[in-house]
């Protein structure tokens, strides 16, 4: 009996420590994202340089494909041989990392992610579609708001700060681009980023 009680106490302590550690990690991520977003909101432009979006996305996809395998999530990527824009490579890497991170976190076992790139004379688009429980139509307009968690329980489970897409939107705006969020509840979610191929002057 005494040994059983000790075992139960140790199990409870272990579980509490695990939950505390997760809480600390969530707080660290929240602070980091807050600082990142605050920094992005204080600047009005970027120092544009040539960025090969095909290389950037291919590199990110290779990393996230490995993460996806752990959840039995498959990833397909379809990009032209060369997508070049004038932009900030570090910021664009952060933006697309956030999008792919969400596509992995909020996916489902046996799900999929598809990354598609296209371009015209004016702009290029990157579309990331993934299987997902989805977001209700009434909530779609809120996904880019700070601290938005339209899937509250899953955000908490995966340590989401609710700032990821707000950061993405700000980075896209700094590149004079546009971002669109679409979702079919119970089926899929799609994020489309459009970026001008030629740099425009920020007003």
**Which domains are delineated in the chain?**
2-196 (3.30.565.10)
Both tokens assigned to 51 = 């960025």
Asked if 142 and 169 touch (Cβ cutoff 8 Å), the reply is: no
pTM for the whole structure = 0.76
Indicate the pairing of strand 74-78 with strand 84-87.
Answer: unpaired
pLDDT tens digits along 164-199: 899 999 999 999 999 999 999 889 999 999 999 876
Residue 1 carries which DSSP code?
-
Residue 160 carries which DSSP code?
-
Query: What Cα–Cα distance (Å) separates residue 72 from each residue in 108, 124, 131, 166, 169?
Result: 8, 30, 12, 28, 29
Residue 165 carries which DSSP code?
H
Query: What Cα–Cα distance (Å) separates residue 126 from each residue in 66, 72, 76, 93?
Result: 20, 23, 13, 13
pLDDT tens digits along 10-64: 666 766 665 655 545 555 555 565 666 667 778 888 889 999 999 999 999 999 9
């Amino acid at each position: 009996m005494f040994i059983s009680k000790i075992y139960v106490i140790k199990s409870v302590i272990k579980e509490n420590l695990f939950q505390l550690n997760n809480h600390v990690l969530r707080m660290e991520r929240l602070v980091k994202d807050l600082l990142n977003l605050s920094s992005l909101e204080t600047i009005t432009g970027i120092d544009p340089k040539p960025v090969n979006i095909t290389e950037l996305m291919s590199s990110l996809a290779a990393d996230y494909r490995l993460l996806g395998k752990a959840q039995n999530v498959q990833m397909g990527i379809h990009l032209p041989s060369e997508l070049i824009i004038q932009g900030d490579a570090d910021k664009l890497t952060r933006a697309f990392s956030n999008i792919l991170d969400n596509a992995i976190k909020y996916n489902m076992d046996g799900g999929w992610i598809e990354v598609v790139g296209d371009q015209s004379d004016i702009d290029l688009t990157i579309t990331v579609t993934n299987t997902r429980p989805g977001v209700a139509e009434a909530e779609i307009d809120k996904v880019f708001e700070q601290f938005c968690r339209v899937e509250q329980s899953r955000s908490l489970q995966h340590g989401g700060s609710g700032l990821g897409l707000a950061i993405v939107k700000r980075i896209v705006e700094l590149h004079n681009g546009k971002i669109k969020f679409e979702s079919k509840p119970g089926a899929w979610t799609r994020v489309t980023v459009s970026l001008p191929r030629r740099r425009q002057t920020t007003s």
